[in-house]
Structure 1
Amino acid sequence: MSEYVPSVESSGSIRQLFRVIKRNGDAVPFDSSKIAAAITKAFLAVEGPSASGSSRLKTIVTDVTNEVITRLQRRLDGGSSVHIEEVQDLVELCLMRHSLQKVARAYVLYREEHARKRGQETSSSHPLASAEQFSLRIHDVDGQSESLSSAQIFSVLHWACSGLPDVDPQRLFDSAKKALYDGMLASDVTNAMIIAVRPLIESEPAYTKVCAQLLLHKLWAEVTAVMSLQGQIPGAVSAEHYPVLFETGIKYGVEFGLLAPQLLDFDLPRLADALQPERDKQFNYLGLQTLYDRYFLHHNNSRLELPQTFFMRVAMGLSLNEAQPTERAIEFYHLLSSFDYMASTPTLFNSGTLHPQLSSCYLTTVPDDLAGIYGALQDNALLSKWAGGLGNDWSTVRALGARIKGTHGQSQGIVPFLKVVNDTAVAVNQGGKRKGAVCVYLETWHLDIEEFLDLRKNTGDERRRTHDMNTANWIPDLFMKRVFEDGNWTLFSPDEVPDLHELYGAEFEVRYMHYESEAQAGRITLFKTIPAQQLWRKMLTMLFETGHPWLAFKDPCNLRSPQQHCGVVHSSNLCTEITLNTNADEIAVCNLGSVNLVNHIRDGVLDPQHLEATVNVAVRLLDNVIDLNYYPVEKARNANLKHRPIGLGMMGFQDALYALHIPYASPEAVHFADQSMELLSFYAFSASARLAEERGAYPSYTGSLWDQGILPIDSLALLKRNRGSDFCTFDQEQRLNWQAIRDLIARHGLRNSNVLAIAPTATISNIVGVSQSIEPTYQNLFVKSNLSGEFVVTNPWLVQVLKEHDLWDEVMVSDLKYFDGSIAQIERIPEDIKRLFATAFEIDSRWLVEAAARRQKWIDQAQSLNLYLAEPSGKQLDNLYKLAWSRGLKTTYYLRSLGATHMEKQNAVESASNDENTSPKFCSILDPECEACQ
């Protein structure tokens, strides 16, 4: 019987790049055909010999083999080696990802059988496998060799494990020996040790910190080498020598043209003395690897920064405008390096550099003329180049079929232009460090809205599809009312109804209905009338099928905006948490950072004093961003200096719930969301007011809601009055003395037009090692893929609780892997633990909406709110998004659902909701009278 072995195009190049360390210690070139052969044998063991040569077998073997190669290329640097066991682990993982559980099982049995046979054979004669003591010759990139002893290797592993519970340096030493061989590059030695540790993370989360320390060891050697200090500073990481590496690094950074010369004006010895090298122990592997790959300054591909010198450099860059810059830099450094707060990615990328583009996102309004459209595209490109995410408002651009006065022709609508927007985002990435990203917003009355809904579909004319661009619906309250009332909805071209774009609330409703009358009378000819529910259903269908467009609500964004006197909020940003005014002369800018909430839990409660201290420094830091920022576009500078908005948010909300032993799906979690956000906003508004006392209020303060004594909690009344109480079900309770904040603002004004916004924190939460933003846990055990590679992530909170109950063992690890990180079907785990560690798809998303609604009443902007439905249905989506609107949410973000293969494993888990029930108009998960909640 002949076996099919695919021809893999990339195998030749990968053969040259990587070597595989065999079990006897020999290094051989990578050979993809061996992977293909092993997969084929496993497949035939399941399907039988008759499957040999079938097209399905060929497809499976090719696809899985190529995925293994791709993941190896992501995981390993050029010139690296990988142990045979890790390759086989990866094959097993890829088979599972392709839903080939039976084939994966056969492959596991195949491996176990060969392992048993090897155990029966005599021990290998290779020196590394037969002796505890050994010595290797390793080489640097210049070809010079040196000796490396087993004692040196064990010493490094022992150092990496020091202070960590439940880790074993001897076990790591025994594993690392398999990946070492004579003649290997010195730079690959630490990589080999990391590779030996990584497979252990799934069974013991503490090993992620061991990996981080080994990476720090590698980084130390790299930094000392590029600074030509290897002869002066020992190869082992040393707190004693941290200061000289910091001072030398700043000087080299300036010399290499990477850092601003003004950094040399700081008191460098004093800053060096303030460094806290012990804080390097806080990192997990994913966090430090992310910094290593994407954030640390480098010259000729060699890093110049260690973690603490990196945080100090960022702090220095944010202190350049301070009267006492050295003192402020130390204060900012402690804020960042303690992980109490983390600045946004652009701030971390660029602070202290020659082009300090520190802001996260930009919001633009695109005008309805050709020069304006292409000017907006140029703005997109320039802003994206310097690591800015983009939110574009396209609601003013005329629709398909509209008249073009200059040529007497007909417009092609917005879709052809959006194709260019899509391609611009792909072409101009964010400084070569991460993908370009843009979200386009369109109001629901725009005549092109139906084609807009189809932009992300995988079928249809590709010239009218934008697969790399995000989209969002900008929905007025009147449309939602028409949906509830089963009324009709009229679509217009904005050139015939130009003022609708600038109106909201009751004024919008009056003018919109006037235009409907004009259309019925024949005085407007380009329009379309459809049932509102029909359009709503299509919006939800596309959201389920493609994940877009996201749903955002125009009226609460405007009626609760502090800056109503300065214009209109026409869109949100890339991640739906920013709600700032835009117009032809102003590009809104969002300057972001996030408080790490779990770091402020002390003795089982949220520590107000600690939170207040963090927020005070964070607001000052964010305000500095506005003045220090490099603005690629002048309209962005004008808007930012005029209004001075910032967006202080949070991350680690799920971790805080774990620390408090509160399940996400509970009234207690909703209460904590309310309590924590009220405290955060109380201190943030206070800090901005006190900063105004020192520096002055923002220039456009006069006439704002702040100036009128109206805080975000008060603006709920404005929304309720305009929308109508029948459509409002939000909570307005407050616990703190908000009159004190009103009085403080009345005396001093506010330094920032907007203060709060909860961003996704996707990357900075990885750096800190906490749960993202306000997100529930995705899975308790999973493999995370990003630009830095693939990382096993195990929920350390769960592992700790299971250890306390004597339930953490290899069987539990296997069960977690089989159930995709869920513990719902693992019978030996108590129910209270299952509730506490329920994953995102096991939590009814109405709990997420309820918690978000309690936060929203305190926030002057919005929040990036992802929603999760394991098996979405039309009724679920309808109820969920109507609930979000009625609760007063301003925006929503991604809708995430599970694939069919996941659902097969979870079919024994009870559905969180029953589609057969009929729910009332506003289904509340906290309402005991709601039939759909029973």
Structure 2
Amino acid sequence: MQLSTEAISKVVGIKVLKRNGNTEDFSRDKLVRSLKLAGVPDPDLVISALDLRGTVSSSELSDKVQLIMLNMVTDDLKWHDAARNYLLWSVYKQVWGKDVVKAINEGRVKFEDAYREGFKAWFRTGLELRIWDSEMSAWYAQHIDELAKYLDPSRDLLLTYNGVRTLMSRYLLKRLDGSFFEVPQYLWMRTAMGVAYAELRYGGDPITWTRRFYDLMSQLRFMPNSPTLYNAMTRLGQLSACFVVPIDDCLSRESDTNREDPECNFGIMDALRLAALIFQSGGGVGYNFGKLRPEGDIVRSTTGIASGPLSFMKLFDTLVDTIKQGGKRRGAQMGMLFWWHPDIEKFITSKSGELKDIQLQNFNISVTIDDYFMQKALKGEDIYLINPRECPCLYKTWGEEFVKCYEGCVEAIKAGKVRIWRRVNAKELWDKIVKSAWDSGDPGLWNRDLANYINNEKLPGEVINATNPCSEESLYDFESCNLGSINLVKYVHEGRIDWDSLARDVQLAVRFLDDVIDVNKLPHERLRKRVLETRRIGLGANGLADTLIALGLRYDSPQALAVSNELASFIARMAVRASIELAKEKGVYPAYKHSDWAEGVLPWTKHRERLEKFSSTIDKEAVDEYMKTLDVGYNDPKVRAIIDGSTAVLKGYRALDSDLSIDVSTVGIRNGSIMSIAPEGSRSLIAGVNSSIEPLFAIAYIRNLSIGKLIEYNYTALRLLMQTKTLDESTRRFVEEYGILPRDHPLADLLRTAHEIHWKWHVYMQVTWARWNDSGVSKTINMPSDTPMEDVEQAYRLAWLLNAFGITVYRDKSKSVQVIYTGVKGAEAKPTIEVKEVKVETKPKVETKVSYTSLSALKDKLVRIKSNGGESIEEEMQEELGETDDPYCKTGSCG
């Protein structure tokens, strides 16, 4: 296609402001060359659609070009690849310099040679900027040439456009002037080098393990948590994502007024300072504020009045507004309070009603429940709210010991020895929790009894009282965990699971996470001591939705549950086997002798026993229904074919329960806890898959790029729609209006989205993964906006009953500002969706046809994104998905 006179005139007289501050005339030929090198199907179309005036910065020009290409993706996936390539080359130019890129383009230098030579320059730059850990860099200096040869530049093309964007926004290292000096393969190699260095202390060869770790990550088969990617091999060197920091009922252990207080080991200001250091290094923090005396209680040192836990939570909330995680993103926090605390009702409503979207916006909050409270609530019995200052045994015990403590405190209240704060009905308190969760998504629930029961670490005299920010890690005070996830879809081949490859990679991932512990530079001695004591790791999964789609299984089906159960059990068993083998090689974790592992107990046997001996006595019908649903899935011939071979592989590795139980009690185990299902966020974007064990959030949604808004398709869904040639014009229009497929579409069931799935299937999927987990499962139970409050109550109750550790619900539009709305009309009424437990029916409204195959149609689409029906998207949408946000990450800092 030849450019029109009008199109040519649009680019005449345009100036481009370069990064160095200089300006130059816009060159159409130069841009066309770049577009052709990126593989753009029609460079002239891009230039024709450009709207340039006056002087534009080079970055703005680049973003405009990318936005045009991304809006063409639904016509041909080559546009996506071209946009990704174009973005990658913008990084290459910053890292290697325009002269090198020009030499590559002119054929004077091979791309692979430039990539590998650049790796050596990358290492030198890190030395000059004093970024590298001095000990590691001194050792690796003699191996840089060898590692450079091992780099595979073609693996950059495994990334999606969003994957590259995410790496650029948060992960790739920069020079002091803000320009990149790291490309994706250098990032993977740096991470591998920094972690593999741990092998030296055990007589191993870091280069061998660097290569293996590099292959695992660069092929996107495994993704460690963000701080590991941020900080591996750097001087900062803090690699953990999850922390729990205790808060005792005093200002500081160091203050004169608190030094003689036996209950003051780590005060409010001590915790605040440590939290700041953790946020600075990229981690997130969970706290239980339940030790703090209630509002209105006496302060012994001053005879003044206590302000209560909520006032101090506001202090921590302000801290996060000030300090970003690792300077990259807003910090994440979890605030918890025990159900028996006198301020519990204020806590429950602290983020709902008039306070919704106003207070504690940097906190997830959860009520710490236990089985005693739940049984009281089910029976509608009264409970007492008790001051922790007067009954400290309440937070020092769990299970039967807690019940003895609590009932003893109640007797003391009745005898007049302890002040009565309030007597409330447990069912009424439960109803308040449910109402607030329905109203705003907060609070969630976390079962302290289950967490302590399932946890195999067992530190004498200590109790797990809190979780990390997204609740996938139930942690002791000062405990930390580093996380990593296996990308499940990488093991799907021709409709089956490659169990052999999955087994090998699980073992390698466990070794990687264990090595992280040895090289990790934690910001406080108490953290370091506790981490080395328990050696907790958190191996999880990513891309479950992509896996089920690749296998042809709808998410809300017995078959999907059965395959998920098989995957979870296989990964858990292989991870325990890997940790046993590491114990042979490197020794057991120090606290092993106190653990349930030493007795040969496997965490999943405790899950099973609890269902049989406790949950079934509460509601046998609900437990049986879940188990029968799993059985239905396993009895399907298609499922049997998919999972065929898993048991044989486990047997070959001696990873069946009988062998694991014997070996873990005689040989020992390297890591106190092993499995954790995290919400992923950034990691899922990098891996190019859907988040964690969640379903598709939407087929299309609004993403807010730095240069403008984009109707973005879920890449997995789009690829399947285009492969099956089922994205016709009316379907495309419908999807972009509402974010879902029409009910009569042939892929509507397979590509069902989160709000089309009944809450019971969400809970079933969460508890299926929890069955094989020893730390926690982070999952959002999504619900449509018209969900009745009774559904939230039933979901919370079922999650407790089926051993879900904790639960968070999110009813669509229950916040005035939410992370994402689906489709252009996301803030308006969607087509009527009748959500049933098994079957979902959608009755579409009017469908309008549109074509984007011409320049005029592309322009129309761009205009429609900016304005819809005379109202701007900014007015219609209260907040869109940010440039590198994952729709499932409520805090904006998951993964």
Deviations along 1:578-614, one digit per CA (max 9) or x if unpaired, are 01222xxxx1101111111111112212211111111
* Structure-1 residue corresponding to 2:256: none
Match of 2:426 among 524, 532, 535: 532
* Structure-1 residue corresponding to 2:717: 798
Helix, strand or coil for the counterpart of 2:220?
A: coil
Residue 883 in structure 1 maps to residue 798 in structure 2: yes
TM-superposed CA distance for 1:437, in Å, is 2.0
* Structure-1 residue corresponding to 2:168: 292
* Structure-1 residue corresponding to 2:407: 513
Match of 2:766 among 827, 849, 852: 852
CA contact (8 A) 2:456 2:774 kept: yes
Deviations along 1:705-753, one digit per CA (max 9) or x if unpaired, are 1111000122226645884641363759997621121223233211110
CA contact (8 A) 2:413 2:419 kept: yes
CA contact (8 A) 1:591 1:622 kept: yes
Residue 268 in structure 1 maps to residue 129 in structure 2: no
CA contact (8 A) 1:486 1:532 kept: yes
Deviations along 1:207-235, one digit per CA (max 9) or x if unpaired, are 33221110111111111229x85687658
TM-superposed CA distance for 1:510, in Å, is 2.9
* Structure-1 residue corresponding to 2:680: 761
TM-superposed CA distance for 1:685, in Å, is 0.6
Match of 2:111 among 233, 238, 243: 238
* Structure-1 residue corresponding to 2:185: 308
RMSD: 3.0
* Structure-1 residue corresponding to 2:333: 438
CA contact (8 A) 1:176 1:193 kept: no
Task: Return the TM-score normalized by structure 1.
Answer: 0.78
* Structure-2 residue corresponding to 1:823: 741
**Aligned partner letter, 2:763:** V
Match of 1:541 among 435, 453, 459: 435
Residue 157 in structure 1 maps to residue 35 in structure 2: yes
Residue 424 in structure 1 maps to residue 306 in structure 2: no
Deviations along 1:775-832, one digit per CA (max 9) or x if unpaired, are 111110112348998654313443344345543233322111112x11144x4x13xx
Match of 1:551 among 445, 448, 456: 445
* Structure-1 residue corresponding to 2:488: 597
CA contact (8 A) 1:389 1:574 kept: yes
**Aligned partner letter, 1:518:** A
* Aligned counterparts, 1:299-698, within 5 A: 299=175, 300-322=177-199, 323-371=204-252, 372-457=267-352, 459=354, 465-566=359-460, 567-582=462-477, 587-698=478-589
**Aligned partner letter, 2:237:** P
* Aligned counterparts, 1:7-406, within 5 A: 124=5, 127=8, 140-141=18-19, 153-161=31-39, 169-170=41-42, 173-175=45-47, 178=50, 190-225=62-97, 238-261=111-134, 262-266=136-140, 267-299=143-175, 300-322=177-199, 323-371=204-252, 372-406=267-301
Q: Larger relative contact order (C-alpha < 8 A, sep ≥ 6)?
A: 2
TM-superposed CA distance for 1:282, in Å, is 1.3
CA contact (8 A) 1:645 1:755 kept: yes
Helix, strand or coil for the counterpart of 1:850?
A: helix
* Aligned counterparts, 1:729-744, within 5 A: 729=623, 737-744=656-663
Deviations along 1:78-116, one digit per CA (max 9) or x if unpaired, are xxxxxxxxxxxxxxxxxxxxxxxxxxxxxxxxxxxxxxx
**Aligned partner letter, 1:773:** S
What is the distance in 2 between the residues matched to 1:189 and 1:301? 18
TM-superposed CA distance for 1:540, in Å, is 1.0
* Structure-2 residue corresponding to 1:839: 753
Pick closer, same or farther for the CA change 1:370–1:391 going to 2, 3 Å.
same
CA contact (8 A) 1:220 1:235 kept: no
Pick closer, same or farther for the CA change 1:397–1:188 going to 2, 3 Å.
closer
CA contact (8 A) 1:505 1:723 kept: no
**Aligned partner letter, 1:528:** R
TM-superposed CA distance for 1:619, in Å, is 0.9
Pick closer, same or farther for the CA change 1:129–1:511 going to 2, 3 Å.
closer
What is the distance in 2 between the residues matched to 1:787 and 1:483? 49
**Aligned partner letter, 1:291:** L
Which sits farther off after the overlay, 682-691 or 182-191? 182-191
The alignment of Structure 1 onto Structure 2 pairs a total of residues equal to 774
What is the distance in 1 between the residues matched to 2:511 and 2:77? 36
What is the distance in 2 between the residues matched to 1:773 and 1:182? 45
CA contact (8 A) 1:430 1:436 kept: yes
Deviations along 1:675-720, one digit per CA (max 9) or x if unpaired, are 0000110111111111111110000000201111000122226645
What is the distance in 1 between the residues matched to 2:789 and 2:718? 37
CA contact (8 A) 2:701 2:712 kept: yes
What is the distance in 2 between the residues matched to 1:144 and 1:785? 29
TM-superposed CA distance for 1:482, in Å, is 1.1
**Aligned partner letter, 1:593:** G
Pick closer, same or farther for the CA change 1:220–1:903 going to 2, 3 Å.
closer
Deviations along 1:900-932, one digit per CA (max 9) or x if unpaired, are 975964453223269xxxxxxxxxxxxxxxxxx
Pick closer, same or farther for the CA change 1:511–1:431 going to 2, 3 Å.
same
Pick closer, same or farther for the CA change 1:812–1:882 going to 2, 3 Å.
same
What is the distance in 2 between the residues matched to 1:561 and 1:310? 34
CA contact (8 A) 1:203 1:813 kept: no
**Aligned partner letter, 1:883:** L
Helix, strand or coil for the counterpart of 1:551?
A: strand
CA contact (8 A) 1:502 1:568 kept: yes
What is the distance in 2 between the residues matched to 1:589 and 1:630? 12
Pick closer, same or farther for the CA change 1:791–1:588 going to 2, 3 Å.
farther
TM-superposed CA distance for 1:454, in Å, is 2.2
CA contact (8 A) 1:697 1:751 kept: yes
* Structure-2 residue corresponding to 1:30: none
Deviations along 1:317-376, one digit per CA (max 9) or x if unpaired, are 112222312221111110110000011111111111111111001102211122112111
Pick closer, same or farther for the CA change 1:149–1:788 going to 2, 3 Å.
closer
**Aligned partner letter, 1:523:** K
Q: Any stretches of 5+ residues in structure 1 without a counterpart?
A: 1-23, 26-122, 162-167, 915-934
CA contact (8 A) 1:673 1:855 kept: yes
**Aligned partner letter, 2:285:** L
**Aligned partner letter, 1:812:** T
What is the distance in 2 between the residues matched to 1:612 and 1:639? 30
**Aligned partner letter, 1:529:** R
What is the distance in 2 between the residues matched to 1:718 and 1:365? 31
What is the distance in 2 between the residues matched to 1:186 and 1:509? 66
TM-superposed CA distance for 1:196, in Å, is 2.7
Deviations along 1:452-474, one digit per CA (max 9) or x if unpaired, are 11222363699x94233221111
Deviations along 1:500-520, one digit per CA (max 9) or x if unpaired, are 112222222233223223323
What is the distance in 2 between the residues matched to 1:212 and 1:302? 19
